[in-house]
Structure 1
Amino acid sequence: MLMTYITAGFAVGLLVGMTGVGGGSLMTPLLTLLFGISPTVAVGTDLAFASITKSAGTITHRFNGTVNWAIVRRLCLGALPAALIATLILSQFGALDARIGQIIRYSIAGSVMLTVVALLFRRRMLAWIKAHPERQLQGKALSAATIIAGAVLGTLVTVSSIGAGAVGATLLVMLYPKLTPAEVAGTDIAYAVPLTAIAAAGHWWLGSIDWTLLVTLLIGSLPGITLGSMLARKVPERFLRALLAMTLTGVAFKLIY
């Protein structure tokens, strides 16, 4: 079982490093479906896992010059307060309650399907935006939209641990279509570090983190995301995204039924 956790951590880390996508979308369902971890503990452990893993990815992307820090700051302005508010709401309703666990399970499934939609239609949305440059936001409107997007992602990530990857990357592409794929991945990973750290701290406070499991996953994920970040410009993105979309569709179906 120990090697299974390490292998799962490495595979997820590799995928996150290459695309900025797949962390919570794969790890949280993996913990609930394959390893039988309760949804609440799976979310809390995955958030702690993501905050540490994506820190390693951010360092690599920073050295490659593929992080737009101005965008990271705007996303954090919306995401971090939203994560705190969502944590307080969870604490009021009892995050470890069985009914809340079931709600979180459905939230995970819904977030996974949102990720699939983002993966499948990202190119079409980008093509539409490029064909209608007059519809692109500029200046203060763009900054405000980025902050609002951060708030939505902050709430989604705190409740389900999913959304910072594919959904976040898709929003970045829609708002900033001139970013290269490597810059989208790097910026997406960088803003997710403080967001997942705050959300993980909230789940630690709620008592929903399995620390032994976390350490085991990190043994595999840290080298995985470092390698993936170095390969970000070399791996065919379309193939990876198609494979990920098919996998996640099956995961969402299994979570619901």
Structure 2
Amino acid sequence: MDVFAAFIAPALAGVFVGVMSGLLGVGGGTIMVPIFRLAFGMSPLASTATSLFAIIPTSISGVVAHARAKTCVPKLGLALGVGGAVMSPMGVWLASVSPGWLVICVAAIVIGFSAFKMFKKAVKCAPTPRAGRAGGNVQAASAKAVPDQPVLSRKQYLQGACIGLIAGLASGYVGVGGGFIMVPLMLAVLDIPMSLASGTSLIAIMILAIPGVIEQGLLGNIDCLAGIAIVVGSIPGALVGARLVRVVPERQLRFIFGGFLLVAAVMLMLNEFGILG
């Protein structure tokens, strides 16, 4: 029973984390932080630090699959990641000097706001026409799910770097990859389709999380065993999630992402106020 609780259960949870990561372009921190707080009973700081640690291998797995499927914009992901890496250590420092409850509450508020924006965008999206009954129509619809690579200007790459700065600060502070900020902003500011934003976000997360993980490790805040247990499941899960991007319609992706964010925000707040025990 101890082995199941210490390793097998978190590994199974990691599969779900990985699928959502690859599908939605998030590092998985918005799921992992509640898991570490609720299932492992970690402190807020240890939960966010261990989540950040597990985010890197999860993101790498998703990036590999997205790159193969051409469902990402590599140069934009690099701009986002570099911007985020600059600010991530600042976020870690702010978290280390903040009360634990404040870190969790800020995470929940930001995640909840992102969920609202995602739902708003999803409602405005036109429903995807259903393909005909013939198998060829279904295949054609799936093939069109991923748009062509966008041609971005220098200004847009600069905007991407600025988005990365914001995401990096949030990543270091609340122990998440920053995808819950980058994906909505890429959709709103850069007009990047959701089917490309997911993979692009993972490229940035893979880069921007590194300084924060190093800093959290030096501070001794990471529970390596718990992090490794989650990663065992999240790596294959991320590969599956990245493949699903090609077949899930844009509107449904936005609704799934919004719902995922909303649940994570509510769970964090309920737990922090002792409602979940």
- Report the TM range for the smaller structure's normalisation: 0.7 to 0.9
Could you say which structure has the larger radius of gyration? Answer: 2
- Residue 198 of structure 1 corresponds to 211
- Residue 223 of structure 1 corresponds to 236
Q: How far 1:22 sits from its partner (Å)?
A: 6.8
- Residue 165 of structure 1 corresponds to 179
Change (3 A) 1:122 1:31: farther
Secondary structure of the residue that 1:176 maps to in structure 2? coil
Change (3 A) 1:246 1:191: closer
Q: Does the CA contact (< 8 Å) of 1:80 and 1:194 recur in 2?
A: yes
CA RMSD of aligned residues (A): 2.4
**Residue 198 (structure 2) pairs with residue 185 (structure 1):** yes
Q: Which one of 159, 162, 167 corresponds to residue 145 of structure 1?
A: 159
Q: How far 1:107 sits from its partner (Å)?
A: 2.4
Q: Separation in 1 of the partners of 2:103 and 2:261?
A: 21
Q: Separation in 1 of the partners of 2:270 and 2:245?
A: 30
- Residue 145 of structure 2 corresponds to none
Q: Separation in 1 of the partners of 2:63 and 2:36?
A: 24
Q: Separation in 2 of the partners of 1:217 and 1:251?
A: 19
- Residue 118 of structure 1 corresponds to 117
Q: How far 1:53 sits from its partner (Å)?
A: 0.5
Q: How far 1:248 sits from its partner (Å)?
A: 2.5
Q: How far 1:120 sits from its partner (Å)?
A: 1.7
What number of residue pairs does the alignment pair up? 240
TM-score (norm 1): 0.83
Structural mapping, 1:1-257, within 5 Å: 1=5, 2-21=7-26, 23-90=28-95, 95=96, 100-123=99-122, 139-162=153-176, 164-177=178-191, 179-235=192-248, 236-257=252-273
Q: Does the CA contact (< 8 Å) of 2:16 and 2:237 recur in 1?
A: yes
- Residue 133 of structure 1 corresponds to none
1:218 is aligned with what amino acid? V
TM-score (norm 2): 0.78
Q: Separation in 2 of the partners of 1:48 and 1:174?
A: 29
Q: How far 1:157 sits from its partner (Å)?
A: 0.5
Q: Does the CA contact (< 8 Å) of 2:11 and 2:233 recur in 1?
A: yes
Q: Separation in 2 of the partners of 1:18 and 1:189?
A: 10
- Residue 135 of structure 1 corresponds to none
Worse overlay, 180-189 or 54-63: 180-189
Q: Does the CA contact (< 8 Å) of 1:67 and 1:186 recur in 2?
A: yes
Worse overlay, 143-152 or 191-200: 143-152
Q: Separation in 1 of the partners of 2:258 and 2:94?
A: 35
* Aligned-residue identity in percent: 21
Q: Separation in 1 of the partners of 2:101 and 2:32?
A: 18
Q: Does the CA contact (< 8 Å) of 1:112 and 1:162 recur in 2?
A: no
Q: Separation in 2 of the partners of 1:77 and 1:222?
A: 23
1:213 is aligned with what amino acid? A
Unaligned runs of 5+ in 2: 127-151
Q: Does the CA contact (< 8 Å) of 2:183 and 2:201 recur in 1?
A: yes
1:8 is aligned with what amino acid? A
Q: Separation in 1 of the partners of 2:214 and 2:117?
A: 28
1:150-178 Cα offsets, whole Å, 9 max, x none, are 1111000100023622221011112221x
Q: How far 1:140 sits from its partner (Å)?
A: 4.5
Q: How far 1:114 sits from its partner (Å)?
A: 2.9
1:111-144 Cα offsets, whole Å, 9 max, x none, are 32233223322336889xxxxxxxxxx8454333
